């Protein structure tokens, strides 16, 4: 060990740190006065949304899914001029950019060795950075951004329409979304940028980067031939949201079983909603993207349209576009929502890796009521079929379809016995009321006469 020779003055400096203040005291005094004025200005705003965050407000059918930006603005009414408040909050907020960059930084500074040794060590450093610092960095960032100046300032800026962003209150949480220009600025500062994405459109990328779409050149790879893929749209099961009735669950199960029986055991994969999927199934927004989990399956069955939380999409659209009319009546927002949903379905279609298996016959079953014609551009050569769930298996049909089937089967049995077909006979055969039999008959094409023409052979 080295002998450390320190005189008394030097030794003291190692143990203590002195901070001298003069002008800063006067500056602090002024900041306090300014902040007190801002607090008084913002009190009505904060106190107005406080019950929504605390959950003390009575929940109605309109607020069941939370409070959108428009609903909060209606509640607040006319706002005061917030320009001065924003300036004061900006001055009071600490600059955290340097701190956050240091959190994520692990380098080779001070490490000796040959070029080859440093290159090998760099891989270890990269792994250490991702594993050891990811959790701690996330916790620190979340804590820092939860500090009052760091959520209050962006909230007030968005509220005053001084910056692109949006907000909502859901599950007693106020979420403020603001546009992060850092990535966009880095991309725009480069002379040339190559972005590879299978579903991203020119318009969406331009909106995200806040540039003219004409500045983006789209280069497409010649699509593979998907002649060995059959895409079957199955209708009749409705929207298939995360809340499903017992009858809907039974019909989904029947359809699933029927599709699985069309293929060898274990050759059918299923993607459903996270809230309704079975344990071995994949789910939307996860297993339909970038996964090779199903590349050896013969068939993929998907349930429902993968729409994201509409409140989240409203915030995202407003933040990226600056348009504060995120309603389905707005054609631009409606197109934005559809594009997001369609991108998920297109990604799901790629999970079978059809182009790598040209000698195999593969099947994609999509259970939806939505038009799937947009898939033709992404899967050229594929065969498109449209069937009702009832056509796949009667057990997957709705109550009316199943009643018609039972009625026709009963009719056939009566005619096979050479008995006279009447509503009385049919009601007795089915154990149903005559009025109900008449209703079913009217719903069938051709009415009652169609039952008389049932082929008994």
Report the chain's C-alpha Rg in angstroms: 32
Residue 430: what pLDDT?
86
* Mean predicted confidence (pLDDT) in 392-403: 91
Is the confidence at residue 241, as pLDDT, over 90? yes
* Mean predicted confidence (pLDDT) in 290-305: 97
pLDDT, tens only, 50-76: 999 999 999 999 999 999 999 999 999
E strand map for 264-419: 268-272, 282-283, 299-303, 362-367, 383-388
Is the confidence at residue 309, as pLDDT, over 90? yes
The answer to whether 436 and 426 have CB atoms below 8 angstroms apart is no
Long-range pairs for 49-58: beta carbons < 8 A, 24 or more residues apart: 49/75, 49/76, 49/169, 49/174, 52/169, 52/172, 52/174, 53/169, 53/172, 53/173, 53/174, 54/172, 55/172
- Residue that is written with structure tokens 């729409």 in the block: 307
The DSSP output letter for 350 is: T
The H-or-E segment that residue 195 falls in is none
* Mean predicted confidence (pLDDT) in 295-299: 98
Beta-carbon count within 10 A of 2 CB: 4
Return d(Cα 131, Cα 271) in angstroms, integer. Answer: 30
* Mean predicted confidence (pLDDT) in 150-160: 92
Q: What are phi and psi of 103, to 5 degrees?
A: -60, -40
What token pair was written down for 411? 């009719």
- Which listed CATH number (3.30.470.20, 3.50.50.60, 3.40.50.300, 3.40.50.10440) goes with 229-396? 3.40.50.300
Return d(Cα 281, Cα 367) in angstroms, integer. Answer: 15
In the chain, what are the domain boundaries?
22-177, 182-215, 229-396, 399-454
pLDDT, tens only, 252-295: 999 999 999 999 999 999 999 999 999 999 999 999 998 999 99
């Amino acid at each position: 060990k080295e002998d450390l020779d320190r005189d008394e003055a030097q030794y003291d400096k190692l143990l203590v740190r002195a901070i001298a203040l003069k002008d800063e005291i006067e500056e602090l005094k002024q900041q306090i006065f300014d902040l007190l004025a801002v607090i008084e200005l913002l009190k009505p705003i904060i106190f107005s949304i406080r019950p929504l965050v605390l959950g003390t407000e009575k929940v109605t059918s309109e607020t069941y899914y939370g409070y959108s930006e428009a609903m909060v603005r209606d509640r607040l009414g006319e706002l005061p001029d917030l320009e001065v408040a924003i300036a004061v909050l900006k001055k009071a907020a600490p600059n955290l950019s340097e701190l956050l960059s240091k959190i994520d930084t692990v380098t080779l500074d001070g490490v000796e060795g040959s070029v080859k040794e440093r290159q090998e060590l760099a891989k270890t450093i990269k792994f250490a950075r991702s594993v050891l610092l990811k959790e701690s960095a996330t916790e620190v960032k979340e804590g820092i951004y939860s500090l009052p100046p760091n959520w209050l300032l962006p909230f007030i800026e968005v509220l005053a329409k001084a910056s692109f962003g949006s907000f909502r209150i859901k599950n007693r949480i106020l979420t403020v979304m603001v546009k992060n220009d850092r990535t966009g600025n880095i991309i725009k500062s480069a002379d040339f940028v190559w972005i590879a994405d299978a579903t991203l459109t020119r318009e969406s990328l331009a909106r995200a980067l806040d540039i003219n779409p004409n500045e983006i050149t789209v280069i497409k790879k010649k699509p593979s031939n998907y002649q060995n893929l059959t895409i079957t749209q199955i209708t009749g099961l409705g929207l298939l949201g995360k809340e499903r009735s017992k009858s809907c669950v039974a019909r989904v199960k029947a359809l699933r079983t029927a599709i699985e029986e069309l293929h060898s055991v274990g050759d059918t994969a299923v993607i459903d909603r996270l809230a309704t999927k079975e344990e071995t199934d994949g789910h939307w927004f996860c297993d339909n993207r970038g996964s090779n989990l199903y590349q050896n399956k013969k068939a993929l069955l998907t349930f429902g349209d993968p729409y994201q939380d509409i409140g989240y999409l409203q915030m995202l659209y407003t933040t990226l576009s600056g348009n504060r009319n995120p309603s389905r009546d707005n054609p631009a927002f409606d197109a934005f929502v559809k594009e997001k949903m369609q991108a998920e379905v297109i990604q799901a279609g790629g999970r079978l890796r059809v182009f790598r298996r040209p000698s195999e016959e593969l099947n994609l079953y999509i259970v939806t009521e939505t038009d799937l014609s947009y898939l033709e551009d992404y899967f050229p050569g594929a065969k498109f079929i449209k069937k009702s769930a009832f056509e796949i298996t009667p057990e997957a049909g709705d109550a009316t379809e199943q009643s018609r089937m039972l009625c026709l089967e009963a009719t056939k049995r009566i005619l096979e016995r050479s008995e006279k077909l009447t509503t009385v006979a049919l009601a007795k055969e089915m154990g149903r009321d005559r009025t109900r039999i008449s209703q079913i008959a009217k719903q069938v094409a051709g009415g009652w006469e169609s039952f008389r023409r049932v082929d008994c052979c």
